Amino acid sequence: MAKNLVIVESPAKVHTIKKFLGSNYEVMASQGHVRDMPKSQLGFDPENDFEPKYITIRGKGELLAALRKEVKKADKIYLATDPDREGEAISWHLTHALNLQDKKVYRITFNEITKTAVKNSLKNPREIDMDLVDAQQARRMLDRMVGYKISPLLWAKVKRGLSAGRVQSVALRIICDREKEIEQFIPQEYYTLDVLLDAKDAKKPIVAKYYGDTSGKKDISDKESLDNIMSDLKGADFNIASIKRGTREKKAPLPFTTSTMQQEASKALNFSIQKTMSVAQQLYEGVSVKGHGTIGLITYLRTDSTRVSDEARAAAEQFITGNYGQEYLSAPVNTGKKNNGKVQDAHEAIRPANIEMIPSEIKESLTRDQFRLYQLVWKRFVASQMANAVYDTVSLNVQAKNHVFTASDSSIKFDGFMMIYVSADDEAESKTHPLSKLTEDTKLGFNSFEEKQHFTQPAPHFTEASLVKTLEELGIGRPSTYSPTITTLLKRHYITKEAKNLFVTELGEVVNSIMEASFPIIVDDKFTANLELLLDGVEEGTVEWKSVVRNFYPDLEKAVEVAEEELAKVEIHDEVTDVICEECGRNMVIKFGPHGKFLACPGFPECRNTKPFLEKIGVPCPKCGGDVVIRKSQKGRKFFGCANHPECDFISWSKPTTEKCPKCGTYMVEKGNKLVCANDDCRFVENQNK
Ligand SMILES: [Zn+2]
Ligand SMILES: [Zn+2]
Ligand SMILES: [Zn+2]
């Protein structure tokens, strides 16, 4: 009997697939990559047209020997690594590492680990797609160039062990920019004015918002304007000028891609990006489900496509019509934007492998996290194939003298997809609809005003979810890179996470400022986005991979040379302070640790004294007159505090100054090139004289 060998990436799949294929198939796992460029060197030769040098990854020798033994016994070899660039590259490396050139070798891919999908893949084998492999090779080499060429410079300038990364450094810059923007943001005062109006038959008053006057929209930017409007309206009649009724459709969502799944799981389930990917991996590789054995519950988790296969659509049609009724089915087919190129056509959205695996029915076979993520994927997919929701809408123009107020209201007419899925972004709709009964003749009676002072808010801090969204919008991220990029930044202590917000650490700031000064191209998002497009071009067969590498390398080399020269000019010394080491009497120096600057004794190693570095900013504490110093929260976020802590509890996110507010006498803080009063009720702004 013919013997076949199937090689997959992950050991978790071996058992499942073996069971699907029966005794004629031996299934083994490569356990990820088997070959890579050597760690100790760049790994390719710029003098020899960038030919990469690959060696067996340390520790993989035994595994390869075991694989070779099985290869000898097999007539046909099926390479079944993951269906993306990286998987293709692993298959290609396997053909070399296992000397498969003279063997009958077939590349097979399946988007889901189910019996049907795996068996079908065997009927549709192909050759290794070198375009995919080359896109992966080019990415690896570009990443390596940046890492291997720039990291040593960071070591020399800041501290050993730091790293730069092609995508990681742009992401860090984007976070730093946002932090700067927030730090320098000056809130602007504005007011809103609501009028509560009584209408006949209405249980609650109608709330209409100030819009402007009959000539157009007006903002209320100070208290005086507000008071003028209110006094002008004293005793005025409020009349309905117009009522508009209509309907509005709310579109069913698209099925998940990697990025949207990460964002939604973060918002709805409070999962970190890394956790989402690890749980999704389990769901994809196979879970033991009571009565079904081990099966893959969702399709491949790294994808930027929203395409839905014809089979999956047909199954969804049957499920929705059978369970909810014909009117709940979307028409035409909701497959989302058609991605161009052969690449995406082969890919699919993330969806349940079998729609009949209803989350609540298999709950007891899943862990809590698996269940919650599976339910999210399942509901999102079913919703994506359902009809849009429809709302009845009413909008109202109310006039009093020449002032205009507006009110609007909507009520659900047909729930459509919302019957099973409401995204975390959608606010709960109000249940009462006081506007529904109004006509243009309805008499309104003035009840009261509700006026409110507001201040404009800065852009929010990045969260993992919003960073992924931004990276995708800028064209920087790819499904396989979002999670590793964020994980690396956190692991290196360049950023820190407090609650859900991401903050830059002191170390991150230092690394970013060096990158911005010496390698502006590397941290330029347009440059990085363009490089990603070129890699997509390689995958599609329209760009030659070595041309990407050839064009990139000289620019990088030159930038590194210049940076090295600059570095040689400025001798790097540890900054000496006036703090005396109490153990040996030497002046202590400033060092960089994972949590930012600290003081160390230069007598190391015979004196190992270290202590926290309290950097004085030369401003007395507004509370107690002590020194204001730069401090860090437990997670590494920078703030200004008092050296007399804990006796004095003064803290400020913005840098305090010695200036006093001319209006209220409170101390002022720096915001960009302006001084702002620290008193929340005053917020006086003064342009700094420079
Ligand atoms: Zn000492
Ligand atoms: Zn103090
Ligand atoms: Zn003030």
pLDDT digits (tens, 9 = 90+) for 488-531: 999 998 999 988 999 998 889 989 998 998 899 999 999 999 99
State what percent of residues in the chain have pLDDT above 70: 95
300 counts as catalytic:
yes
Q: What is the mean pLDDT of residues 590-603?
A: 82
CATH of segment(s) 189-251+389-455: 2.70.20.10
Please pick, among 25, 210, 300, 482, the residue that the annotation labels catalytic: 300
Calculate how far, in angstroms, residue 184's C-alpha sits from the geometric centre of ligand 3. 18
Q: Which fold has domain 258-332+346-385?
A: Topoisomerase I; domain 4 (1.10.290)
Output the six-digit token pair for 221. Answer: 């930017």
Q: What is the number of the ligand closest to the CA of 604?
A: 1
Calculate how far, in angstroms, residue 187's C-alpha sits from the geometric centre of ligand 2. 26
Q: What is the mean pLDDT of residues 420-429?
A: 73
Calculate how far, in angstroms, residue 656's C-alpha sits from the geometric centre of ligand 2. 12
**Domain range 4-128, its CATH number among 3.40.50.720, 3.90.1150.10, 3.40.50.140, 3.30.870.10:** 3.40.50.140
Calculate how far, in angstroms, residue 683's C-alpha sits from the geometric centre of ligand 2. 22
Q: What is the number of the ligand closest to the CA of 661?
A: 3
Q: What is the number of the ligand closest to the CA of 625?
A: 2
The answer to whether residue 343 scores a pLDDT higher than 60 is no
Virtual torsion, Cα 435, 440, 445, 446, nearest 10 deg = 80
How many of the other CB atoms lie within 10 Å of CB of 163? 19
Which residues, chain by chain, have CB under 5 Å from ion ligand 3?
A: 661, 663-664, 666, 677, 679, 682, 684
Q: Is the pTM of this model over 0.85?
A: yes
By C-alpha distance, which of 52, 54, 69 is closest to 7?
69
How far is it, in rounded angstroms, from Cα 17 to Cα 12? 10
Q: Is 346 helix (H, G, I), strand (E, B) or coil?
A: helix
Tell me the pLDDT band of 569, cut-offs 50, 70 and 90. Answer: low
The answer to whether residue 333 scores a pLDDT higher than 70 is no
State which of 85-99, 631-645, 671-685 shows the largest mean pLDDT: 85-99
By C-alpha distance, which of 21, 106, 405, 475 is closest to 229?
405
Q: What is the mean pLDDT of residues 615-626?
A: 91
Calculate how far, in angstroms, residue 621's C-alpha sits from the geometric centre of ligand 2. 5
How far is it, in rounded angstroms, from Cα 474 to Cα 466? 12
Q: What is the mean pLDDT of residues 146-156?
A: 89
Q: What is the number of the ligand closest to the CA of 608?
A: 1
- Element holding 188 (H helix, E strand): none
The answer to whether residue 341 scores a pLDDT higher than 50 is no
Calculate how far, in angstroms, residue 645's C-alpha sits from the geometric centre of ligand 2. 7
Calculate how far, in angstroms, residue 617's C-alpha sits from the geometric centre of ligand 3. 22
How far is it, in rounded angstroms, from Cα 312 to Cα 326? 17
Tell me the pLDDT band of 232, cut-offs 50, 70 and 90. Answer: very high
| N-term to C-term CA, the chain | 87
Calculate how far, in angstroms, residue 640's C-alpha sits from the geometric centre of ligand 2. 11
How far is it, in rounded angstroms, from Cα 543 to Cα 138? 11
Strands (DSSP E) found in 37-162: 44-45, 51-52, 55-56, 76-79, 104-107
Output the six-digit token pair for 434. Answer: 């006081």
> Measured in whole angstroms, how far is the alpha carbon of residue 267 from the centre of its chain?
11
The answer to whether residue 342 scores a pLDDT higher than 60 is no
Virtual torsion, Cα 372, 378, 384, 388, nearest 10 deg = -70
Q: What is the number of the ligand closest to the CA of 643?
A: 2
To which residue do tokens 């919003």 refer? 466
Tell me the pLDDT band of 432, cut-offs 50, 70 and 90. Answer: low
Q: What is the number of the ligand closest to the CA of 628?
A: 2
Calculate how far, in angstroms, residue 617's C-alpha sits from the geometric centre of ligand 1. 25
The answer to whether residue 114 scores a pLDDT higher than 70 is yes
Q: Residue 294 contacts by C-beta under 8 Å, 6 or more apart in sequence?
A: 15, 16, 19, 286, 287, 288
How far is it, in rounded angstroms, from Cα 668 to Cα 683? 9
* Residue count (the chain): 690
The answer to whether residue 98 scores a pLDDT higher than 80 is yes
pLDDT (tens digit, 9 = 90+) per residue, 463-474?
Answer: 999 999 999 999
By C-alpha distance, which of 141, 62, 73, 48 is closest to 97?
62
Average pLDDT along the chain: 90
Calculate how far, in angstroms, residue 173's C-alpha sits from the geometric centre of ligand 2. 33
By C-alpha distance, which of 153, 146, 8, 28 is closest to 81?
8
How far is it, in rounded angstroms, from Cα 485 to Cα 126? 32
How far is it, in rounded angstroms, from Cα 282 to Cα 366? 10
User: For residue 682, what pLDDT is reported?
Assistant: 86
CATH of segment(s) 137-184+460-569: 1.10.460.10
User: For residue 427, what pLDDT is reported?
Assistant: 56
Calculate how far, in angstroms, residue 509's C-alpha sits from the geometric centre of ligand 1. 29
Q: Comparing 137-184+460-569 with 258-332+346-385, is the CATH topology the same?
A: no
Contact between 4 and 24 under an 8 Å Cβ cutoff? The reply is yes
By C-alpha distance, which of 152, 634, 216 is closest to 403?
216
Q: What is the number of the ligand closest to the CA of 586?
A: 1
Tell me the pLDDT band of 160, cut-offs 50, 70 and 90. Answer: confident
Rg (CA), the chain: 31
Calculate how far, in angstroms, residue 671's C-alpha sits from the geometric centre of ligand 3. 14
Q: Which amino acid is at 678?
A: A
Q: What is the number of the ligand closest to the CA of 683?
A: 3
Across the beta sheet with 638-642, what order do the strands follow?
615-620, 627-632, 638-642, 651-652
Domain boundaries, the chain: 4-128, 137-184+460-569, 189-251+389-455, 258-332+346-385, 576-687
Calculate how far, in angstroms, residue 153's C-alpha sits from the geometric centre of ligand 1. 29
Tell me the pLDDT band of 577, cut-offs 50, 70 and 90. Answer: confident
How many of the other CB atoms lie within 10 Å of CB of 460? 11
Per-state percent for the chain, helix, strand, coil, to nearest 5: 35, 25, 35
Calculate how far, in angstroms, residue 609's C-alpha sits from the geometric centre of ligand 2. 27
pLDDT (tens digit, 9 = 90+) per residue, 236-267?
Answer: 999 999 999 999 999 999 999 999 999 999 99
Q: Which amino acid is at 588?
A: M
Phi, psi (degrees; rounded to nearest 5) at 542: -100, -15
